[in-house]
Amino acid sequence: MSRSSLFGSPLFLGFDHLEQMLDRVAKNSDGYPPYNIEQTGENCLRITLAVAGFSMEDLQITQEDNQLVVRGRQKDETEGRIFLHRGIAARQFQRAFVLAEGIDVEGAWLDNGLLHIDLRRPQPEVRVKAIQIGTRLHSSGRAVMRGDHLDKA
């Protein structure tokens, strides 16, 4: 049984890598830590993750191709402590965000248990390219364009 593909339409050519990226991100998201994504300017975004209990040394941010990956691993400091109730777990995590091509990570900071990551989205360039239409195929298999002659090799 084949799986229905988001990009399965024949009109989406060359987008299979996006589907693979989305699958990879879906596998990495378990809901922890919670996060917000907000627009802070016309071309600026901010990701804020709730990472209470994590210090700067416990956190790592990397950009791997078009993925922003945030990892957290707390040191086990429970040795010699006796818990009557333990509701705050020292839990490691990995949270991945797919970035559009060209998005730049401008910086990150930790403030009151919130990790903020600022991103800048580039202005899209409008590209228009005219494609000439040929009249017939040359013996080489390419279309003959206006101004081309059959006697050219």
Residues with Cβ < 8 Å from 45, sequence gap 6 or more?
37, 38, 39, 103, 118, 119, 120, 121
State the Cα–Cα distance between residues 119 and 67, nearest whole angstrom: 12
At 74, is the pLDDT very low, low, confident or very high (cuts 50, 70, 90)? confident
- Strands in 59-64's sheet, in edge-to-edge order, are 59-64, 67-72, 93-98
Q: What is the mean pLDDT of the chain?
A: 82
pLDDT tens-digit series, residues 129-151: 998 888 776 666 666 665 555 55
pTM: predicted TM-score of the whole model, two decimal places: 0.66
What are 79-123's pLDDT values in tens digits? Answer: 888 989 988 777 899 998 989 888 999 999 999 999 999 999 888
pLDDT at res. 27? 66
Give residue limits of the domains in the chain.
16-120
Q: CATH assignment of 16-120?
A: 2.60.40.790
Strands 104-111, 114-120: parallel, antiparallel or unpaired by DSSP?
antiparallel
Classify strands 67-72 and 59-64 as parallel, antiparallel or unpaired.
antiparallel
